[in-house]
Amino acid sequence: MENVIDFHVHPYLSQTECLGMYRESFYLDPMEARRDLEESGIMHICGSVIENGTYTSDRGFEYFRELNRKALKLQEIYGGFYTPGIHVHPDYVKESCDEIEYMHGRGVRLIGELVPYSHGWNDYSCRGLAEILDTAEQYGMIVSYHTMGEDRQIEDMIAGHPGIIFVAAHPGQKGDFLKHIDRMKRYENAWLDLSGTGLFRYGMLVHGVNEAGFERFLFGTDYPICNPRMYVQAVLQEHISDEAKECILWGNARRLLE
């Protein structure tokens, strides 16, 4: 398996942005990280650059702009291996909308992963984000978001912008996963990536495919937090059809990114 697309990675230029839990003992530089992923069968990655530590409001939107520029720098380094994801923030509506326009002009179509818990906000249904999403919808952006907060907030976000594909990050434990599946059954623009917690629960993907089909599941790892080879093998081991495995591992993402 050598053509996997990992829809959920947090690439980095230095240890400042490396999210690996044991980075004091295990750190790969950006090119070593690429080889690490490729050796696991991953030939393309998507995602945002996130800095260690907690954001404080005195840093303003410039903090997010700098992270987005680091994503562009990584795209220069990685070339076609990497699709950048960008940060926006509901407290900075104009700046976020300007950033979407700027990045779209450079071929970027992915927002997120949005991580409100780390960036000082917590409501996916807030007015500021809704205004930003209006702009995102105009530019045909895809939105990846960390699963958190109240279910109603997530649903309001998804239902309020039917022209945007929203990719939830992390299946979570069974209760959370079943909520994802319910949303996928009710909203055609609700997708789910398999990164982080959840995929190690054997049979999870069988249930998801049986309930919601395989067309809106995306392979993801949350690298460098999680071991990429384990996630590839987890999908391959699930008792689903070869067609479903191929679509989840790369076909669905390729279709989404075209």
Quote the pLDDT of residue 144. Answer: 99
For the chain, the average pLDDT equals 97
Q: Are 47 and 10 in contact (CB under 8 A)?
A: yes
For the domain made up of 4-257, give the CATH fold: TIM Barrel (3.20.20)
Average pLDDT of 143-164? 94
pLDDT in tens, 93-144: 999 999 999 999 999 999 999 999 999 899 999 999 999 999 999 999 999 9
In sequence order, what are the beta bridge partners of 114? 145
Quote the pLDDT of residue 148. Answer: 82
Q: Kindly tell me if the per-residue pLDDT of 170 is higher than 70.
A: yes
Percentage of residues in the chain with pLDDT exceeding 70? 100
Quote the pLDDT of residue 1. Answer: 62
Q: Kindly tell me if the per-residue pLDDT of 149 is higher than 80.
A: no
Percentage of residues in the chain with pLDDT exceeding 90? 93
Report CA-CA distances (Å) from 207 to 5, 210, 222, 229: 22, 5, 22, 22
Q: In sequence order, which ranges of the chain are alpha helices (DSSP H)?
A: 30-39, 62-78, 93-104, 116-119, 127-138, 151-160, 174-186, 204-212, 228-237, 242-246, 252-257
Domain parsing of the chain, residue ranges: 4-257
3-state secondary structure of 168: strand
Quote the pLDDT of residue 242. Answer: 98
Quote the pLDDT of residue 247. Answer: 98
- pTM exceeds cut of 0.75: yes
Quote the pLDDT of residue 128. Answer: 98
Q: How confident is the model at residue 53 (pLDDT cuts 50, 70, 90)?
A: confident
Buried b / exposed e across 25-48, counting CB within 10 Å, b at 16+?
eeebebeebbebbbebbbbbbbbb
Lowest mean per-residue pLDDT among 32-36, 40-44, 146-150: 146-150
Quote the pLDDT of residue 258. Answer: 87
